[in-house]
Chains A and B, each alone.
Chain A
């Protein structure tokens, strides 16, 4: 059986495959430079898209006009420690099951699916001027923004979203705890 029947990988084919890969990777990184740069610097903002998603006709459920002020402001990982030292409260917007499986140490659970029902209890125990930091499952996850918008509508004045969320926190080696503590 000859190489004609079962051709092996030739050096030239390998080099061309590598060039092809490098070319495509370069194009992809150039076209998405801002997204990748923002991911590395913790500045990826999806807030505007989420506001459109939650308020499709430029209005929110209570009839007011959606505005940039309605969107929680994003906060990077590097600023979280200072905010926590100043008394900020971490809020996990993921499902209760995800929260029990593992969450940021010190966080409380306010899942998007139950947020509206839980908000009255929440507002009696947390004052409206408390700084709040919401998170969910990382960049592109809208739940923290949506819960943040609900909190702003409820009257909370200092609502932030940590967009890197659980996966970035975990990958940074920050403390994760399980259960409901």
Chain B
């Protein structure tokens, strides 16, 4: 059972690291295009979309790197859990308002768009990975107190 927990922990940690480093880097390379996608949600005053677009990719990259390095795993997972919760609420609000927009989750310039319902389902998978990493984290890994 301990071996299963250890494998599940490392698989979820490395999967999340790859996903969020990729998502962060690809958005950080085109902040203006990403800001346009954040603006499509129509949740913030227009200029504030640029603040989100400037900061969010670096939060994702930092959390991804820490997970990759197996350091500060629980704080990183907590941040990613919060981010995914916000994404799910934002996407649900888009669906409720009937907008047909791309989620902007990965490549801002992509010609393929991910509808909100598919993005929500994907975010729930990420939440599952986060919870797996959280609960299956061995006490000794990373020399952390958490």
Contact = CB atoms under 8 A, between A and B. Distances in A.
Query: DSSP class of B's interface residues: helix, strand, loop or mixed?
Result: helix
Given A12-B145, A39-B47, A141-B36, A31 B54 contact: yes
Interface in A140-167: 140-141, 164, 167
A20 B139 contact: no
Interface in B46-84: 46-47, 49-51, 53-59, 61-63, 66, 72, 74-76, 78-79, 82
A28 B54 contact: yes
Interface string B31-54: 111011001001001110111011
B46 A20 contact: no
B22 interface: no
Interface residues of A, number: 37
B146 A13 contact: yes
Interface residues of B, number: 38
Contacts of B39: 138-139, 167
Interface of B: 28, 31-33, 35-36, 39, 42, 45-47, 49-51, 53-59, 61-63, 66, 72, 74-76, 78-79, 82, 134-135, 137, 139, 145-146
Interface of A: 4-7, 9-10, 12-14, 16-17, 19-21, 23-25, 27-29, 31-32, 35-36, 39-40, 44, 46, 137-141, 164, 167-168, 171
